[in-house]
């Protein structure tokens, strides 16, 4: 007797759909691997655009400005006849990552009556504008500040050379920056004429008194031992009702694929290559630093763009 449909489940296997799904997954994996191979192009393109002043040039054109590579080339002082073509290739990469917006305009010519006519046979011209989301952070604000300065520092050849020593540091020991440059990252500015003038002081010896002490992106440069020295000095420098305000990146305990987590893990590896004992920390790590340096409590106030604002109470 044949089994009834009511008492049996019928499983339909679509081999073609499965094959297409596997093919899509394999292609996505291959493209991801290929993207890693050319990943350096994006940050270096952003650095170049910042150093050429491209974001500021577009911003100065007004809120709805749309500039072609020819427009931009005419404002950067280039003497290279190929600059417009080279710029267009750079700009379209930025646009593909939403750092700029790109649209096409027909190329026109004027007749003897000064009337414009579209050149049908000519390719359309790309024009670029700022995006509300990301490009604004590379435009110089009223205080003369933008994120491009930090990006240029991180991508400076002095720091980039450290990455070539990461493998050696893992196998043989040492700090990649020291292996590449022969000195600690905090010693290097004294021999580079591009760097700022240093003001005397040693936070490991003492910290000036104050009702509150603010430290942003300081602790991640140092080992736990160094951080405890600094925090203990801060503890001595504030009154009973004082506090130390710490702003730093925080890494999750387990890997995550959220943007904030990716930035934190990349920053952690950056700290490992540049500084002795430098690292990004977990929430538990900060609690340990607070209690071990004598503070009675720590408050995690808020998180802004991947940075945590923490208050250490005496």
Where is 128: in which H helix or E strand?
strand 125-130
Catalytic member of 97, 220, 226, 288: 220
Catalytic residue status for 235: no
In angstroms, what CA-CA distances link 94 with 102, 131, 203, 297?
Answer: 9, 11, 41, 45
User: Distances from the Cα of 146 to the Cαs of 58, 156, 201, 302, 309, in angstroms?
Assistant: 15, 17, 28, 23, 21
Closest CA relative to residue 308, chosen from 248, 254, 256, 253: 248
Handedness of CA 286, 287, 290, 295 (dihedral sign): positive
Q: Contact 100/135 with Cβ under 8 angstroms? A: yes
What tokens does 189 get?
């500015």
Enter the DSSP assignment of 182. S
- The partner residues of 299 in beta bridges, in order of sequence, read 311
Q: Using an 8 Å Cβ cutoff, are 268 and 255 in contact?
A: no
Catalytically annotated residues: 220
């Amino acid at each position: 007797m044949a089994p009834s449909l009511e008492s049996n489940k019928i499983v339909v296997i679509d081999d073609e759909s499965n094959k297409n799904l596997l093919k899509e997954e394999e292609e996505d994996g291959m493209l991801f691997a290929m993207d890693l191979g050319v990943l350096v192009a994006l940050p270096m393109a952003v650095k170049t655009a910042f150093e050429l002043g491209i974001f500021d040039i577009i911003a100065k054109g007004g809120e709805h400005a749309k500039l072609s590579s020819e427009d931009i080339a005419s404002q950067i002082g280039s003497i290279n006849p190929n600059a417009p073509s080279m710029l267009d290739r750079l700009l379209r990469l930025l646009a593909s990552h939403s750092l700029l917006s790109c649209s096409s305009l027909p190329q026109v010519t004027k007749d003897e009556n000064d009337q414009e006519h579209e050149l049908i046979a000519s390719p359309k011209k790309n024009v670029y504008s700022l995006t509300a989301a990301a490009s604004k952070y590379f435009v110089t604000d009223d205080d003369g500040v933008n994120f491009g300065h930090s990006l240029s520092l991180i991508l400076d050849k002095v720091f980039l050379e450290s990455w070539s020593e990461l493998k050696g540091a893992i196998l043989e020991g040492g700090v990649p920056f020291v292996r590449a440059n022969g000195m600690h990252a905090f010693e290097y500015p004294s021999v580079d004429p591009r760097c700022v003038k240093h003001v005397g002081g040693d936070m490991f010896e003492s910290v000036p008194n104050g009702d509150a002490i603010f430290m942003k992106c300081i602790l991640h440069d140092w080992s736990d031992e160094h951080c405890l020295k600094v925090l203990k000095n801060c503890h001595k420098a504030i009154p009973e009702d004082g506090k130390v305000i710490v702003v730093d990146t925080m890494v999750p305990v387990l890997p995550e694929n959220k943007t904030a987590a990716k930035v934190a893990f990349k920053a952690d590896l950056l700290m490992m290559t540049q500084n002795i004992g430098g690292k990004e920390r977990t929430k538990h790590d900060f609690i340990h630093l607070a209690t071990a340096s004598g503070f009675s409590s720590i408050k995690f106030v808020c998180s802004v763009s991947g940075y945590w604002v923490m208050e250490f109470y005496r």
